[in-house]
Amino acid sequence: MKNSNSPTRTAAPSAYGFHGVLRERDFGRAVEQVTAALKSEGFGVLTEIDVKATLKTKIDVDVLPQIILGACRPPLAHAAMQAAPSIAALLPCNVVVRSTGDGSTVVEAIDPKAMIEMGVQGLEGGDHPALAEVANDAHARISAALDSLGGN
């Protein structure tokens, strides 16, 4: 049974990620919930980019709160880089948490399977079946993290 903060998760329109809506009015709390959900699946947050603050500082525009979390699960990152060192250019997995301004928060994440499909053509050494295994694992974990936001 889902709680009142239940997300609705569907494939993003561009088919390269996950998309959910968290009915959380407090943006800071929403970021904490997403971070905790990622942690429960073994991901740490390596970077946190405050888009709102950056745009205000750099070009003096006001936008709704938005944070880009750079999520990483070290064993997966290591396995991917062992298979193809240049894959590091696609790491970490980005998870966006952004306010809609109407009392909900959008959570979007890149699908590691799509990221590998887009990036693997240019990697040295050609075919990388080990990357598919890593991407499938990361895909399942990120999907589970987003699903858990609903309290399933």
pLDDT of residue 59: 98
- CA 31 to CA 78: how far, in whole Å? 26
* 98 bridge partner residues: 66, 106
Mean per-residue pLDDT for 116-145? 74
Nearest to 146 by CA among 64, 33, 3, 12: 33
Percent of the chain with pLDDT over 90: 46
Given a cut of 70, whether residue 139 has pLDDT beyond it is yes
- What mean pLDDT, rounded, does the chain reach? 83
Mean per-residue pLDDT for 119-142? 73
Q: For residue 115, name the pLDDT band (cuts at 50, 70, 90).
A: confident
pLDDT of residue 60: 98
* Higher-confidence position of 72 and 17: 72
CA 34 to chain centre: 9
The token duo for 112 is 């590691």
Whether the model pTM is above 0.85 = no
Mean per-residue pLDDT for 8-37? 78
Q: For residue 48, name the pLDDT band (cuts at 50, 70, 90).
A: very high
**Cβ atoms of residues 146 and 19 within 8 Å:** no
The SS3 assignment for 148 reads: helix
- CA 28 to CA 31: how far, in whole Å? 5
